[in-house]
Structure 1
Amino acid sequence: MANLIPVARTVGVNRIVPTISIPYPLGDPATPKEVQHKLRYHRVGVALDALSTEIEEPRLFEVKV
């Protein structure tokens, strides 16, 4: 999981799941708790799917908002 996608690609990360921001990678404290939970749950789910996906080359996994 990374919020600086170009840096992740530069250092050779092979599975990249975009995050929201540097201080709050998985949520936004300005939103209600229910919204934060939904954001976090979805992104962690995408990350787990990324780990279990066979890949041949580096890949950016899409996170739908």
Structure 2
Amino acid sequence: MAKKAKKRKYSKGAAKKVGRAMKKRKAGTLRSGRSGRKVKSKKQAIAIGLSEARKKGAKVPKKKRSKKS
């Protein structure tokens, strides 16, 4: 049996945006949106990269919504 080709969850453009955000974080020049504070966590840098990719129209899964109880 031949293996089914796996579709990409994230496009190459999205990966580039995240990579750029990670490099900026490491250099200490990545700032968060509204407050303009310096980003220190890797998770936040990834989130910024993905949101930039979404704005550009790259293939990125939708944000996960939190459930309200």
Q: Shared fold by TM > 0.5?
A: no
Which protein is richer in strand relative to its size? 1
What is the TM-score normalised by the length of structure 2? 0.32
Which protein is richer in helix relative to its size? 2
